[in-house]
Amino acid sequence: MSSKERLVVIGGVAAGMSAASSFKRMKPQDESYVLEKDHFISYGVCSLPYYISDDVKDIVSLISLTPEKATQERGITVLTRHEALRIDPAQKQVVVTDLNANETKTVSYDKLVIATGGLPVKPPLPGIDLKHIFSVRTLNDGMEIKRFIDRWTSSSDSAPERTAENRTGVRKNIMKAVIVGGGYIGMEMCESLKKRGLDITVIEKMDRVLGNMDSSVTGIVEDKLRSEGVTLRKGVSVEGFEGKDEAVTRVITDKGPCDADIVILAIGTRPNTAVARAAGVMLGAGGAITVDEFLRTNVPDILAAGDCAEATHLVTGKKVYIPLGTTANKQGRIAGENAAGARHIFEGIVGTAVTKIFDLEVARTGLSPLEADHEGYHYFVSTIQGTSRSSAYPAGKALTVTYVVEAETGRLLGAQMAGVEGVAHRIDTLAACLYNRMSIEDVARLDLGYAPPFATVWDPILIAANVALKKLQKPE
């Protein structure tokens, strides 16, 4: 073992590169190694729908750091195409396969950060391995989807039933896409594929899209989908896939088949924990790696961060698995600092998320009504329809705000919003309110900025708080 201390990080995307970088900042004289199975590191998964839609032209723009720059500018040794097979905590070694050379070797560590991320949920259904069934998780996924669509739309020999006549009389190829799952990625892919001219059907097992969000918001989203020509099949379970020449042609459901030339699996993410579990690392919420407030696991000198690790929900105080890029970056940074000797605490999350669905902004933070039910809270829901700008200023848009409020205390438990503008940043205000455990009365007293191009004199956040406060004071 070198006299220098060595951090080894398994995984080179958001959490992994954040950990390696923060360790090196604190201990520039020591060694920081990253083991990454893929060709790429440090890229933006959340931008993949916009690359597939052709809004983002170059896949390289999604990569924030290359292995060469990580070495030259940050002093990090990045080993791409290196798959971690096994961790030996007793010897403090990682057994690794160099996929390019097809060789196995060991890499020693003083501290280890597991940042193996998440894996797309891929249920063992008949036909699941047919060609043209994709997940949207890695750069390779995005490139394969875009390459397939490009080939299809440039072809002139499609079957007659897959062509249509547009307004100019020119016949064009129509690809039938089925999106399995109505969560964030599924909704974003609706817009992405629609921009590419595909015929889209969304199959969702629940009675609404966007999972646990309140119907006051999901109803708006579903209306938007239908207005954009998306076929929505709710309360439908996928039972398998059928194909021809090894390529998918139909999705089989409990409510009948659905033709498909391409299938996007968007039914969630699970933590990638096989290597950690085999090393004796404890798993917790959602099967993710159990960590304390310092992001330490139960195994000495091993920490974990990102989509493979759990986090504390600041509303409930319980451990949860909510994989988000923002959390991964924050956890990775703290894990790297603590591996370097710091004692920084990762306090937790409130589950803030925002997405764009065609021209709608949709956001949430904290608990939804379904989640509040699950946690046993006595609560009420309050919804208002506001406006993004002053009525005296043109082009203001409707904005829906829904609050979930604890009935006994008036504490804000969660919030959701939908509208064409003004949603994405307003939700951050309410996330800060949740972080500080504010009551709905506290929210109503906030001193928010006002100017006609940006808000009404009573911002929708405040209007919603005042309406909820009246419900709290005079329960129905």
Q: Which two tokens stand for residue 279?
A: 């090393």
DSSP state of 127: T
Residues 382, 458: Cα–Cα separation, whole Å: 17
Q: How many CA atoms lie within 13 A of 424 on its CB side?
A: 9
**Are the C-beta atoms of residues 214 and 369 closer than 8 Å to each other?**
yes
Token couple for 103: 């060789």
How much is the CA Rg of the chain, to the nearest whole Å? Answer: 24
Q: Which residues of 445-467 are buried (b: 16+ CB within 10 A; e: fewer)?
A: eeeeeeeeebbbeebbbbbbbbb
CA distance 186 to 221: 12
Contact 308, 114 (CB under 8 A): yes
Scored b (16 or more CB within 10 A) or e, 383-398 reads: bbebbbbbeeeeebbe
Respond yes or no: is residue 46 known to be catalytic.
yes
| Phi-psi group of 191: left, alpha or beta (phi > 0 → left; psi -120 to 50 → alpha; rest → beta) | alpha
Q: Are 345 and 312 in contact (CB under 8 A)?
A: no
CA 138/CA 56 separation, integer angstroms:
15
Helix (H, G, I), strand (E, B) or coil at 165: strand
CB distance 345 to 294 below 8 Å: yes
471, 382 Cβ separation under 8 angstroms: yes
Q: Which of 271, 96, 18 is nearest to 282 (CA)?
A: 271
- As annotated, the active-site residues are 46
